[in-house]
Amino acid sequence: MNENHMRHRSTEHEIKVVQAAPLQPPAKKGMSRGLYTALIIPACFVAGVGGAAVYTAVVPKADGTQVINRDKVVLQEGEVVAAAAKKVGSSVVSIITEQTARTMMGYSSLQQGAGTGIIISADGYVVTNKHVVSSESQSIEVVLADGTSYKDVKYVGSDPSNDVTFLKIQNVKSLTPAVFGDSSKVEVGQKVIAIGNALGEYQNTVTTGIISALGRPVTASDESGRSSEQLENLLQTDAAINPGNSGGPLLNLSGEVIGINTAIASGAQGIGFSIPINDIKGMLKGLFSEGKVIKPYIGVRYVTITPDVASRYSLKVRQGALLLASEGQSVVASGSPAEKAGFKAMDIITKINGMAVDGTHPFASLVAQLTPGQQAVITYLRDGKEATVTLTVASRS
């Protein structure tokens, strides 16, 4: 069972997501770019900033006042963006897929798609979106920024509760992996950079913007509307993200990956979404050591506490994860770490390893950052009294 089995949702607005393909060779006519559509749960907004990155000098005056001297510009913003894009450019790849698709009339046809990926290890591991590459893909081609093409690419696995897939380029040893940042330190208003193969034709297109909001939940669906999934804790950005960008990196100004671009809002301008990079870190140890996707697992069903949930169940807290299940389901999985730790229905998990479970750090996201076998300290409320317990995180393939 997934940790994010139950979610509380309110009013929804339609959105879309993105993918990209290589400049060499150019996208073929009719190529699908995997435009994902989604539904935003809360209202979203866009903000913008410009100008140069500066150091300011504070100059004291005789009367005790201070004058801020803004003339000492030491780094132009364009130079910072260029340096960051150059740092990660060789780690951004184009992905071309082919898979059989059925038409509404029941006929089958070979459909080609295009997207973006990020190299995460020297020996060929790549992360991208699940809606870019699925287990049903008949062929997968990865093209590096310098035009080098690899067709011996293995589908490794996907995260069942997030729009993330891992691939492995076979028989390589010296690729350039991207550097990961810490998405928990991202702030609203922070300048960011997006890189991807826009429209499946323009390889390694660089755009800039800011972080517009944190912790956005969305319901994402593909172009056809036949497939959708719930995503939580997304970074919202106004950096231009287009069809073809899906799976590409969202960077900070140091050139570190802080997110994986996954969705855009349809009928809107400057509303894009990225999966925080911390949400995949818990799976990397198993990926690199065992060559498969292993999900950290605690074993509970829950509802994210919102004002409505707090009112409905007469809760005294306004954030956390309320252990609750639908009729006929168990709150705690048999044999799970949560059962061994003694968790019960209506317990409220408020912290994991000291990090508060809240709107910008949802329970599923905090669990995703854990590593199977790791000791995790869980803080929870039972009948209004706070307690802590240490459990050993399990794994699920």
Greatest pairwise CA separation for the chain in angstroms: 83
In the 8-state DSSP scheme, what is residue 183?
G
131: annotated active-site residue: yes
212: annotated active-site residue: no
Helix (H) or strand (E) holding 340: helix 337-340
246: annotated active-site residue: yes
Q: Are 88 and 251 in contact (CB under 8 A)?
A: yes
Q: Are 70 and 49 in contact (CB under 8 A)?
A: no
Residue type, 267: G
Record the tokens describing residue 73, joined without a space.
């510009």
Spatial distance between the Cα atoms of 25 and 147, rounded to a whole number of angstroms: 8
Q: Could you say which of 131, 161, 274, 279 is catalytic?
A: 131
Placement of tokens 């870019």 in the chain: 132
Q: Measuring CA to CA, which residue among 282, 167, 273 is closest to residue 229?
A: 273
Spatial distance between the Cα atoms of 10 and 272, rounded to a whole number of angstroms: 20
Phi/psi at 185 (nearest 5 deg)? Answer: -100, 5
The distance of Cα 136 from the centroid of its chain, to the nearest Å, equals 22
Placement of tokens 């991807």 in the chain: 196
Give the angle 209-276-1 at the CA atoms, nearest 5°: 150
The region that residue 306 occupies, defined by phi over 0 for left and psi between -120 and 50 for alpha, beta otherwise, is: beta
Spatial distance between the Cα atoms of 32 and 27, rounded to a whole number of angstroms: 9
In the chain the first and final C-alpha atoms are separated, in Å, by 12
Q: Where are the beta strands (DSSP E) in 103-148?
A: 108-119, 125-128, 139-143
Spatial distance between the Cα atoms of 90 and 121, rounded to a whole number of angstroms: 12
Q: Could you say which of 13, 32, 121, 163 is catalytic?
A: 163
Q: Could you say which of 158, 212, 246, 395 is catalytic?
A: 246
Residues with a known catalytic role: 131, 163, 246
